[in-house]
Copies of this chain bind each other. A is one copy, B any other.
Amino acid sequence: MNSGDTAWILVATALVMLMTPGVGLFYAGMVRRKNAIAMITLSIICLIVVGIQWVVYAYSLAFGNDVAGFIGDLSYFMLNNVGLEPAKGMTIPHILFMIYQMMFAVITLAIITSAVAERVKVSAFVVFGILWITFVYAPFVHWLWGNGWLAKLGALDFAGGMVVHVSSGFGALALALVIGKRMGFGEYSMEPHNIPMTLLGGALLWFGWFGFNGGSALAANGLAANAIVVTFVASCVAGAVWMIVSWIKGKPGSLSIISGVIAGLAAITPAAGFVDVKGAIAIGLVAGILCYIALDFRVRKGIDESLDAWAIHGIGGTWGSLAVGLFATKAVNDYAGLLYGNVALLKAQIIAVVATVIYAFVVTFILAKIVDVVMGLRVSHEEEYVGLDISQHGEVAYS
């Protein structure tokens, strides 16, 4: 056990935990006043529900002994065999690795709430969430980090480009199609009720991402340092791209800028442990452009994936995961990408991206449909009209 590494992951765990209410605030500022509490509360419910689920069985599904390359077994059920000593090959307590991973599961579900903003029934979301972590998230973790089939294939995902962002982004798209548009979407404008709240949430995400990507080195070393540097640089570049593009098209809106930053963060996530600063600049640049186009496309198509988890996390994560295959460099880690003469990695990344995109979309669609048929995903028209704060939580945000 290394006390420096342990100190860093203890902190990184706290940082990633804070990101989930960060997502809540980020989203809540963009919805209407009558749904502000509901949006934040969904993120808190993610913490509570996934927190319990993870220690009971989901950690084991993700990291238990491999079953057919697809899922873990129940050897870590109720944290059996998850001790205070380091697991094999690690320098931090096994139980610390477990909770660090827990926070990733939590935030991934929180990102998805974008798709159901201002219209989801809380009870249905809880059920959906439990299913989704079981059938989408835990398998993805296993495939890429739990020695599953994609890991064996050689696919890389440093801090969750596919595990977190592709899964939540394409999951959100599927979920949005199942739950349907908000009443009045496309008819009248739904203005963000509190932009400073969104900027605060975005700042907390940015802050927490140091733990998210830096912590994924699982040690306090040069790799962790490189991860936070490329993470920050990519976010700056993508933020700058959105600022410039929205400037060209009108005015540099703060929501554009912060969305660009998040797009850059999502895109660099899978690559943070494999690329250098030049790679980070390239990733941020392309992420900025691609995600902006995706958002535009989504709006023009009239799809109410309300807070753009798909355009930002889904497309950002997809691009970043592919970019690993391009820009990975041995100057940083043991892997080389296409630019450094290795085509195998890119192939593995393409397979992994295609597999996760399809799986995330299809399985989420099915799960959402099941929940919708069984208990209804959506509140009644009347409840939607008065807002979820009153109808779901019996509360009023501001008085």
A21 within 8 A of B: yes
- In this assembly, does A398 line the interface, its C-beta being within 8 Å of a C-beta of chain B? yes
A99 contacts the other chain (Cβ, under 8 Å)? Answer: yes
A232 x B395 contact (CB < 8 A):
no
A65: B residues at CB distance < 8 A? none
* A315 in the interface (beta carbon within 8 A): no
Residues of B with C-beta under 8 A to A99: 225, 228-229, 232
* A24 contacts the other chain (CB 8 A): yes
Question: Which of B37, B210, B239 is A48 in contact with, Cβ under 8 Å?
Answer: B239
Q: Which residues of B contact A37 (CB under 8 A)?
A: 195-196, 199, 254
In contact, A84 and B225 (Cβ under 8 angstroms)? yes
Bound-state CA distance A55–B357 (Å) is 34
A10-18, A138-146, A178-186, A296-304: which lies at the B interface? A10-18
* Complex interface: stretch among A39-47, A159-167, A320-328, A374-382: A39-47
With known contacts A10-B220, A11-B11, A237–B93 Cβ distance under 8 A: no
Instruction: Evaluate whether A193 and B399 lie within 8 angstroms (CB atoms) in the complex, with A8-B7, A79-B277, A199-B44 already known.
Output: yes
Of A67-75, A255-263, A338-346, the segment with at least 4 beta carbons within 8 Å of chain B is A255-263
Q: A236 touching B47 by the CB < 8 A rule? A: yes
Question: A219 vs B24: C-alpha distance in the bound complex, in angstroms?
Answer: 32
- A217 CB to nearest chain B CB (Å): 9
For window 189-204 of chain A, which residues contact chain B by CB distance below 8 Å? 191-197, 199-200, 202-203
Our pick among B24, B33, B95, B195 for the contact of A229 (Cβ within 8 Å) is: B95
Residue numbers in B under 8 Å from A81 (CB-CB) = none
Identify which of B10, B13, B395 contacts A195 (C-beta below 8 A): B395
Q: Which of B1, B14, B47, B252 contacts A211 (CB 8 A)?
A: B14
A48 touches B225 (CB 8 A): no
Which B residues are in CB contact (< 8 Å) with A41? 199, 254, 257
What copy number does this chain have within its complex? 3
Residue of A5, A83, A202, A393 with most chain B CB atoms under a 10 A cut-off: A393
Known contacts A8-B10, A225-B99; A195 and B397 CB within 8 A of each other? yes
Please give the number of chain A residues whose Cβ is less than 8 angstroms from any Cβ of chain B in the complex. Answer: 100
Interface residues of A in 322-372 (CB under 8 A from B): 332
**Closest Cβ–Cβ distance, residue A200 to chain B (whole Å):** 7
B11 adjacent to A222 (CB under 8 Å): no
Segment 265-299 of A: residues with Cβ below 8 Å from B: 276-278
Contact of A232 (CB < 8 Å), options: B51, B228, B235: B51
CB atoms of A15 and B14 under 8 A apart = yes
CB 8 Å contact bits of A100-119 with B (1 = contact, 0 = none): 00100000000000000000
Known: A51-B233, A96-B222, A96-B228. 14 other contacts (CB 8 A): A3-B221, A4-B4, A4-B220, A7-B220, A37-B199, A52-B236, A55-B277, A84-B221, A84-B223, A93-B221, A102-B232, A191-B396, A194-B196, A194-B399
A-B contact pairs, 16 of them (CB 8 A): A3-B4, A4-B5, A8-B11, A10-B228, A14-B15, A17-B232, A24-B203, A25-B200, A40-B196, A44-B202, A47-B206, A48-B240, A84-B225, A95-B229, A195-B398, A254-B393
Point out residues on A near B: beta carbons under 8 Å. 1-8, 10-11, 13-15, 17-18, 21, 24-25, 28, 33, 36-37, 40-41, 44-45, 47-49, 51-52, 55, 78-79, 83-85, 92-93, 95-96, 98-99, 102, 122, 191-197, 199-200, 202-203, 206-207, 210-211, 214, 219-226, 228-229, 232-233, 235-237, 239-240, 243, 250-255, 257-258, 261, 276-278, 332, 392-399
